[in-house]
């Protein structure tokens, strides 16, 4: 398997800073009152900080007049203390006011992306890597609150503070102070911009390496048993180490670039501050400035140094946050292939009749179905059999509307599935797949997943109907027993019974059994088949199977070959016809592998491969 998985979340061309911010504005607009109040508080903080050196200058000049205890400017001292307190108080109040906005924005956008991922088609999820998508979502959510906090309450107020300081220096002193300040600021910003753009490429590569390492580790751990079966622990460790080595190299380059930028920024600030202090000292020596003026300029120099240093950090980290958000929003930009048409009504199920009318479907360049016509009457069972790649599972995917057909129609009780709401369709269909994947939760949780609002008695009744209740009751923890990752603590038969139980709990009108017993031994298969037949009573059922012994009781059997129906009828009639079904039956009765039973037809050699899917396989 290649390590280079497609990156569905690569930055898009529209992922500029303005584009990202525009996507966040609707969320912020809901909290505009809090945002404006927070801005007012932080601007008040900056005004208080700018006013402190002015009071300090007046205080020093007043003390320079040889005051007695009675002439000490108490009012100035009190004002200085009040401003110092106000700057801290307003800053903390801003945090209190804006905390909800930051947390809620991250939550709302993250939830929107998560819901969108579940709305994407099967095509996207066949290509995606769970670990990579999870890392992109995690980093993006974390960057939302950081970016908003930085932009609204650090960048804007800091620029206001710098503008006020420059205005005071221009108004109170000669233009050289303003010229030195502006030159320092311009040089600093230009240097920071160039260095940040240079460093950002290493940061993006570091993010990509981090994503690949995370995806690879998750994939390896999910396939723990496979790793053990082939004694490939050392191989997996080498693969993981290779990814970590790439992450290490890019991280070192990124950190070195950050250090070089920090050195340059510090040098620019040091030169600017030295020049300003030299001009102030010269003014005091010439008698043009008082000692208070020197203290004021020095205080403003120190006050500007911190914002300037922080502006560099803000810009650097802001670009990194935007890179994270680009990847998360790229997930949100993935197109939804199957969506409701405007005003689509819910599906109305009377009997549950299913019809495929001249259905055609292609997957890329491959034709999977070539004009399928078949009907499953209400309450009856239709089985679809055929060689691998014949298109059997594609019928199930089209019925569940994982895809829409390229031609023809799929109807339930006469309603075209493209014209009804997807949710209402899927609520009425239950699927028992070949590979039952369970959540790493309790048995109770996994059964209840079929209908989360069901009562406990309904859940137990579904377990009884699936013949799994007695087994669960005999366990030390009963229904609270954990099933492990993907249900690995259970046998194949036990997992299938859990799948049947949660499907019955869903109360579907239509059932799909997609190779539901092909991975089981003969004894367990026989037991599960009885439960499946009982579950299908009174419901419309589509059964997809390789083993013909599992479909002999079906009301109708359809044989597919290369996307076309070549035979149909019941078990006895198809055997009597002596055609393709009879040949398959004879081979399976002799114990020949099912996939070898297509020797009678050369067309099978060119049959298209099935569309891979974790839950529905041919």
pLDDT at residue 605 in the model: 32
Q: State the DSSP H helix or E strand holding residue 215, giving kind and residue range, or none if neither.
A: helix 175-222
The domain boundary residue, chosen from 332, 362, 389: 332
User: Is residue 147 a contact partner of residue 321, using CB atoms and an 8 Å limit?
Assistant: yes
Residue-wise pLDDT for 514-534, tens only, equals 877 665 666 666 777 777 777
- Is 466 contained in some domain? no
Task: Choose between 459 and 4: higher pLDDT.
Answer: 459
Angstrom distances, CA of residue 206 to CA of 138, 202, 209, 213, 326? 16, 6, 5, 10, 15
Q: How far apart are CA 347 and CA 421, in angstroms?
A: 7
User: Is residue 130 a contact partner of residue 215, using CB atoms and an 8 Å limit?
Assistant: yes
- Is 185 contained in some domain? yes
Q: How far apart are CA 618 and CA 610, in angstroms?
A: 6
pLDDT of 85 strictly over 70? yes
pLDDT of 228 strictly over 80? no
Q: How far apart are CA 293 and CA 584, in angstroms?
A: 100
Same domain flag for 327 and 388: no
Buried (b) or exposed (e) across 415-445, using 16+ Cβ within 10 A? Answer: bebbebebeebbbbbbbbbbbbebeeebbbb
Dmax (CA) for the chain in angstroms is 123
Same domain flag for 46 and 110: yes
Q: How far apart are CA 317 and CA 203, in angstroms?
A: 10
Same domain flag for 325 and 361: no
In the predicted model, what is the mean pLDDT of the chain?
78
Same domain flag for 277 and 387: no
Q: How many domains does the chain have?
A: 2
Please work out, in degrees rounded to the nearest 5, the angle formed at the alpha carbon of residue 482 by the alpha carbons of 478 and 484: 150
Q: State the DSSP H helix or E strand holding residue 390, giving kind and residue range, or none if neither.
A: none
pLDDT at residue 225 in the model: 63
Which residues touch 221 (CB under 8 Å, ≥6 apart)?
Answer: none
Q: State the DSSP H helix or E strand holding residue 345, giving kind and residue range, or none if neither.
A: none
Q: How many CA atoms lie within 13 A of 116 on its CB side?
A: 17
Read off the pLDDT of each residue in 21-30 and give the average, rounded to a whole number: 76
Same domain flag for 148 and 260: yes
Structure tokens at 384: 């679809």
- What is the spatial order of strands in the sheet that 354-363 belongs to? 366-376, 354-363, 407-412, 415-416
The domain boundary residue, chosen from 284, 301, 332: 332
Identify which of 150, 157, 198, 158 has the alpha carbon closest to the alpha carbon of residue 315. 150
Q: How far apart are CA 100 and CA 34, in angstroms?
A: 9
For 319, the domain range is 17-332
Same domain flag for 378 and 323: no
pLDDT of 151 strictly over 90? no
pLDDT of 69 strictly over 60? no
- Is 404 contained in some domain? yes
Q: How far apart are CA 402 and CA 339, in angstroms?
A: 10
Q: What CATH number does the domain containing 68 carry?
A: 1.20.1560.10
What's the pTM? 0.60
pLDDT at residue 70 in the model: 46
User: Is residue 272 a contact partner of residue 184, using CB atoms and an 8 Å limit?
Assistant: yes
Which residues touch 552 (CB under 8 Å, ≥6 apart)?
Answer: 571
Q: How far apart are CA 230 and CA 541, in angstroms?
A: 39
pLDDT of 592 strictly over 70? no
Q: What CATH number does the domain containing 395 carry?
A: 3.40.50.300
Q: How far apart are CA 471 and CA 578, in angstroms?
A: 44
Same domain flag for 44 and 144: yes
Same domain flag for 147 and 181: yes
């Amino acid at each position: 398997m290649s390590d280079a998985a497609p990156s569905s979340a690569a930055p898009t061309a529209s992922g500029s800073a303005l584009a990202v911010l525009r996507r966040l504005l609707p969320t912020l607009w809901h909290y505009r009152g809090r945002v404006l109040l927070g801005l007012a508080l932080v601007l008040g903080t900056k005004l208080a900080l700018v006013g402190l050196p002015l009071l300090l200058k007046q205080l020093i000049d007043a003390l320079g007049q040889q005051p007695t205890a009675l002439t000490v400017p108490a009012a100035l001292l009190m004002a200085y203390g009040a401003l110092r307190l106000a700057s801290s108080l307003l800053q903390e109040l801003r945090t209190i006011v804006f905390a909800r906005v930051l947390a809620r924005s991250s939550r709302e956008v993250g939830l929107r992306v998560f819901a969108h991922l579940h709305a994407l088609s099967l095509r996207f999820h066949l290509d995606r890597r769970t670990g990579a998508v999870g890392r992109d979502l995690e980093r993006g959510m974390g960057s939302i609150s950081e970016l908003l906090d930085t932009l609204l309450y650090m960048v804007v107020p800091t620029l206001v503070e710098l503008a006020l300081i420059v205005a005071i220096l221009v108004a109170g002193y000669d233009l050289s102070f303003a010229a030195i300040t502006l030159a320092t600021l311009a040089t600093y910003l230009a240097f920071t911009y160039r260095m940040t753009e240079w460093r950002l490429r290493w940061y993006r590569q570091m993010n990509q390496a981090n994503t690949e390492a995370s995806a690879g580790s998750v994939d390896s751990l999910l396939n723990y048993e496979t790793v053990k079966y082939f004694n490939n622990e050392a191989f997996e460790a080498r693969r993981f180490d290779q990814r970590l080595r790439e992450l290490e190299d890019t991280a070192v380059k990124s950190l070195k670039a950050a250090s070089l930028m920090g050195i340059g920024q510090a040098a620019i600030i040091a030169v600017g501050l030295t020049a300003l202090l030299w001009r102030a000292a010269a003014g005091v020596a010439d008698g043009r400035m008082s000692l208070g003026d020197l203290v004021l300029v020095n205080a403003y120099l120190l006050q500007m140094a911190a914002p300037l240093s922080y502006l560099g950090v803000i810009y650097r980290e802001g670009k990194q946050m935007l890179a994270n958000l680009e990847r998360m929003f790229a997930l949100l930009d993935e197109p939804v292939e199957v969506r409701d048409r405007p005003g689509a009504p819910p599906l109305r199920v009377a009997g549950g009749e299913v019809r495929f009318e001249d259905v055609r479907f292609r997957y890329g360049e491959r034709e999977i179905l070539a004009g399928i016509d078949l009907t499953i009457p209400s309450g009856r069972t239709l089985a679809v059999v055929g060689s691998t790649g014949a298109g059997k599972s594609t019928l199930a995917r089209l019925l569940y509307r994982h895809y829409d057909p390229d031609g023809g129609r799929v109807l339930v009780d006469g309603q075209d599935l493209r014209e009804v709401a997807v949710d209402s369709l899927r609520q009425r269909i239950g699927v028992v797949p070949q590979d039952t994947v369970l959540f790493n939760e309790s048995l109770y949780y996994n059964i209840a997943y079929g209908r989360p609002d069901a009562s406990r008695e309904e859940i137990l009744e579904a377990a009884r109907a699936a013949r799994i209740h007695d087994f669960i009751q005999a366990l030390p923890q009963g229904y609270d027993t954990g099933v492990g990752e993907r249900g690995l603590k259970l046998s194949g038969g036990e997992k299938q019974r859990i799948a049947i139980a949660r499907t019955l709990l869903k109360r579907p009108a239509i059932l799909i059994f997609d190779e539901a017993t092909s991975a089981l031994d003969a004894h367990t298969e026989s037991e599960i088949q009885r439960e499946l037949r009982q579950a299908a009573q009174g419901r419309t059922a589509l059964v997809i199977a390789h083993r013909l012994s599992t479909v002999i009781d079906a009301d109708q059997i359809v044989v597919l070959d290369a996307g076309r129906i070549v035979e149909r009828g019941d078990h006895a009639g198809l055997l009597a016809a002596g055609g393709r079904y009879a040949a398959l039956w004879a081979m399976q009765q002799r114990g020949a592998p099912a996939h070898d039973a297509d020797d009678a037809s050369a067309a099978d050699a060119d049959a298209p491969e099935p569309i891979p899917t974790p839950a529905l396989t041919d």
